[in-house]
Amino acid sequence: MIPELGEFALWIALPIALWGSVLAFLGGKSSRGDLVLSGERSTYAVFFLIALASAGIITAFLQDRFEYAYVYNYSSRNLMTYFKVAGLWAGQDGSIIFWALNLALFSSIAVWVNRKKNRELMPYVNGILLAVISFFLVLGIFVTSPFEQLGFTPADGRGLNVQLQNYWMTIHPPTLYLGFTSFTVPFAFGMSALLTGRLDARWIQLTRKWVLTSWLFLALGIIFGMRWAYEELGWGGYWFWDPVENASLLPWLVATAFLHSVMIQENRGMLKVWNMGLVLLTYLMTIFATFLTRSGLIESVHSFAQNITIAWIFLGFMGLVGGVGLILILWRLPLLQSERQFESLVSREAAFLLNNLVLLGIAFAVIWGMMFPLITEGFAEFRVAIGAPFFNRVNIPIGLALLALMGIGPVIAWRKASVRNLQRNFVLPLGVGVGIGAILFAMGVRHAYALLTFAIGTFVLAIIAIEFVKGTRARARIEEEGMGTAFVHLVRRNRQRWGGYIVHVGVVVMFMGFAGTAYDEEVTQNLAPGETLTIASAMGHEYALVYQGLSTHRAPNMDQIVALFSVSRDGRDLGSMTSEIQLVRAPPQRTTQVGIEHFLLEDLYVIVAEVSENAASLFDLNDAALQRATFRVLVNPLVPWIWYGGLILVVGTLIALWPGAGVPTRRIAPAPVPAAVG
């Protein structure tokens, strides 16, 4: 019963969303409160109806309703319950509805929060949000309906792709989707500001938390994806420069640029056109990422669907949004004039703008690398492949420039930095950075990029540390507080600034984690039980893995062949580690589970690469010859730092996001000029 109700709800949601959008625009244009109110109620109704539809899809999964093509393709009777719930976003059809659900939720929140405020903007914001929801509903009903029936009921479904049967499956896609969808709200505010001509910094202040929330979800989604790849795909890395990974990185890069450049508009009244352009571009990138994940246009580990029709529909939608956005910006160009001019290349404005260019430069390089094969195939009639070597070669140097700007931007003076300002803020940190670089060089680190990452990274950390110390000291002196209290009050009084610094610390730590890749160690060896594999890490540790043999287990949906090791580090016993091959029955697939042991500075990573072709017969007889197997063992230095860095980044963002004032009002402090200046 419920799935049918869900389909029905979806059908009702579309006209309400369309009509509500029209009402909202009309209400805004004619300033008629009743129309505006109807539009807002439509948003709540649409959310409720899409929630019903989603519940319907999940129920269809839970009840094994295989007469639905979507359930048949992504589930099976013995699939674990939480993967059935995750079925909502396992494939294209469901994820379009899931997207609409998220968007309707965020739209309802935006409408509810502003129901008594910002009345001149809200009708348009709501109208835009409902129009976007309508687009996804049209897709979900007419193009990729998850409620489409097969016309018969298969006994069992095809099962979920085994590589997706991982707990990250329930976490990573929704997080990324939350990031993609929540950015629609700042986009709608930006476009409404253009429509109404209210082009002061107001729309930016109103959407700051939305942008930051969206940014946080995107960052988390990307980090979760890295973690998933690291644990599941079993090649020892966390980032492939795979098209879909790249696609999720793009909106994050542009959103990061936007987060920084809006500070220039708020403080100096400049870059208004630029900011409008960035909000539009970020939104387009979220659509692009969704469409790339789901269309399979570009070969990728993620291309779960190969549906070219939907690619054209998405391209058309992007063209429409981009075109209308550009026309609106051109139309309002006279109102988007800068209030001030750039005065010096050595200023905070310049550093921020440079940061923007660098971020967009990375985004450009990534897009170009993804699209180049399509372009050559379309125009030059030969096919090429662009892989990780390209992305690393281009993005590592640009990324290092970005890292350096992360230190410079926050402490260089507005307008024009004096020599005194530069000396006070940069001499000590530069010394620390160069010193660390020299120490690492003396210790034998010769990899240029790794050295630079650590030198620049510590330069940035030193700047941030000095800022914290200076700020805390000043506050302790003026307010006569203890250092601890002063520190807490300092952060609380300008959460945006200090939270931002903590985010920067997280990013530096992550960059250092990435640099560790330069010193990965790997051994591949064929072992018989009792034999030992040894591997030495760049950090100077020696690991010995004694192979104990294979054992077999039968689980409900799979046969497992488990390799057992007893492991020691520098002669100290660490206990056992396992890595296993899983032979899944439905769908018939083979997958490998890696064994990972985390340390503070490195990971030990064990993969059972190959077992004898007849190893499956170990289930019936115990033959020593069948116990031989090949293993890949890796030591990945500093990989744990990526996750620590991610955690710090989240904490910093949450501090900046925490409700309450958080930013000193202008009456008290004219502008957030750092304590160090003057």
Partner 1 sequence: MRKDRRFFVGLIGVAAVVIYLVWTGIAATMTYAVTPAELFANLELNPEDSGRGIRVSGHVLPGSHSQASGELKHQFIVVDPTDESIRIVVEFPHPLPDTFSDDQAMLTEVVMEGRLREDGIFEATEVLTKCGSRYEAVPEAPGSEVPSAGSPGALPDQRIASTEGKVDG
User: Which of positions 301-330 make contact with partner 1 (CB under 8 A)?
Assistant: 301, 303-307
Residue 115 CB neighbours (<10 A): 12
Taking the alpha carbons at both ends of the chain, their separation in whole angstroms is 71
CB of 446 to partner 1, least distance (A): 22
Interhelix angle 348-375/388-411, nearest 10 degrees: 170
Alpha-carbon span 495 to 660, nearest angstrom: 9
Site for partner 1 in 140-169 (CB under 8 A): 143-145, 148-156, 158, 161-163
User: Which stretch in 67-75, 171-179, 196-204, 554-562 sits in contact with partner 1 by CB under 8 A?
Assistant: 67-75
- Determine how β-strand 629-637 pairs with β-strand 521-527: antiparallel
Closer of 154 and 322 to partner 1 (Cβ): 154
Instruction: Rule CB under 8 A: say whether 546 interacts with partner 1.
Output: no
With CB under 8 A as the contact rule, the residue among 357, 445, 466, 488 that binds partner 1 is: 357
Alpha-carbon span 87 to 174, nearest angstrom: 11
- Token pair recorded at residue 13: 């949601």
User: Which stretch in 201-209, 217-225, 229-237, 559-567 sits in contact with partner 1 by CB under 8 A?
Assistant: 229-237
Closer of 213 and 246 to partner 1 (Cβ): 246
Alpha-carbon span 244 to 246, nearest angstrom: 5
Instruction: Rule CB under 8 A: say whether 393 interacts with partner 1.
Output: yes
Contact pattern from residue 481 through residue 510 relative to partner 1, giving x for each residue in contact according to CB under 8 A and a dash for the rest: ------------------------------
Q: Which DSSP category does 68 fall into?
A: B
What residues pair up with 579 in beta bridges, in sequence order?
563
With CB under 8 A as the contact rule, the residue among 24, 632, 637, 653 that binds partner 1 is: 632
**Phi (first) and psi of residue 201, to 5 degrees:** -80, 5
- Residue holding tokens 């006209």? 15
Rg (alpha carbons) of the chain, rounded to whole number: 27
Site for partner 1 in 18-47 (CB under 8 A): none
Beta-carbon contacts of 305 under 8 Å, excluding residues fewer than 6 positions away, are 91, 92, 294, 295, 296
User: Which stretch in 24-32, 350-358, 476-484, 545-553 sits in contact with partner 1 by CB under 8 A?
Assistant: 350-358
CB of 495 to partner 1, least distance (A): 31
With CB under 8 A as the contact rule, the residue among 368, 441, 619, 658 that binds partner 1 is: 368
- Residue holding tokens 């290349």? 345
Closer of 158 and 447 to partner 1 (Cβ): 158
With CB under 8 A as the contact rule, the residue among 13, 69, 244, 255 that binds partner 1 is: 69
User: Which stretch in 104-112, 478-486, 602-610, 647-655 sits in contact with partner 1 by CB under 8 A?
Assistant: 602-610
- Token pair recorded at residue 265: 């508009």
CB of 144 to partner 1, least distance (A): 7
Closest alpha carbon to 216 in 227, 206, 228, 208: 208
Contact pattern from residue 581 through residue 600 relative to partner 1, giving x for each residue in contact according to CB under 8 A and a dash for the rest: x-----xxxxxx--------
Instruction: Rule CB under 8 A: say whether 624 interacts with partner 1.
Output: no
Closer of 393 and 598 to partner 1 (Cβ): 393
Instruction: Rule CB under 8 A: say whether 346 interacts with partner 1.
Output: no
Q: Contact, 512 vs 672, CB < 8 A?
A: no
Closer of 66 and 183 to partner 1 (Cβ): 66
Residue 606 CB neighbours (<10 A): 25
Tell me the CA distances in angstroms from 353 to 111, 211, 677, one per residue in order.
Answer: 33, 19, 20
- Token pair recorded at residue 310: 């939907």
**Phi (first) and psi of residue 572, to 5 degrees:** -90, 130
CB of 210 to partner 1, least distance (A): 29
Q: Contact, 106 vs 217, CB < 8 A?
A: no
Q: Contact, 110 vs 125, CB < 8 A?
A: yes
Closer of 188 and 359 to partner 1 (Cβ): 359
User: Which stretch in 105-113, 125-133, 252-260, 609-617 sits in contact with partner 1 by CB under 8 A?
Assistant: 609-617
Instruction: Rule CB under 8 A: say whether 560 interacts with partner 1.
Output: no
CB of 526 to partner 1, least distance (A): 5
Instruction: Rule CB under 8 A: say whether 299 interacts with partner 1.
Output: yes
With CB under 8 A as the contact rule, the residue among 57, 264, 432, 609 that binds partner 1 is: 609
Alpha-carbon span 475 to 619, nearest angstrom: 70
CB of 509 to partner 1, least distance (A): 25
Instruction: Rule CB under 8 A: say whether 613 interacts with partner 1.
Output: yes
Alpha-carbon span 95 to 289, nearest angstrom: 13
With CB under 8 A as the contact rule, the residue among 269, 322, 373, 672 that binds partner 1 is: 373
Closest alpha carbon to 552 in 541, 542, 540, 562: 562
Tell me the residue length of the chain.
678
Size of the site for partner 1 (CB under 8 A): 82
- Token pair recorded at residue 312: 């054209």
With CB under 8 A as the contact rule, the residue among 101, 628, 633, 655 that binds partner 1 is: 628
Site for partner 1 in 231-290 (CB under 8 A): 233-237, 240
- Token pair recorded at residue 157: 């479904």
Closer of 342 and 599 to partner 1 (Cβ): 342
Site for partner 1 in 85-124 (CB under 8 A): 91
User: Which stretch in 70-78, 100-108, 510-518, 668-676 sits in contact with partner 1 by CB under 8 A?
Assistant: 70-78
User: Which stretch in 13-21, 78-86, 361-369, 428-436 sits in contact with partner 1 by CB under 8 A?
Assistant: 361-369
Site for partner 1 in 440-469 (CB under 8 A): none
Interhelix angle 639-657/202-228, nearest 10 degrees: 160
Residue type, 47: F
Q: Contact, 58 vs 84, CB < 8 A?
A: yes
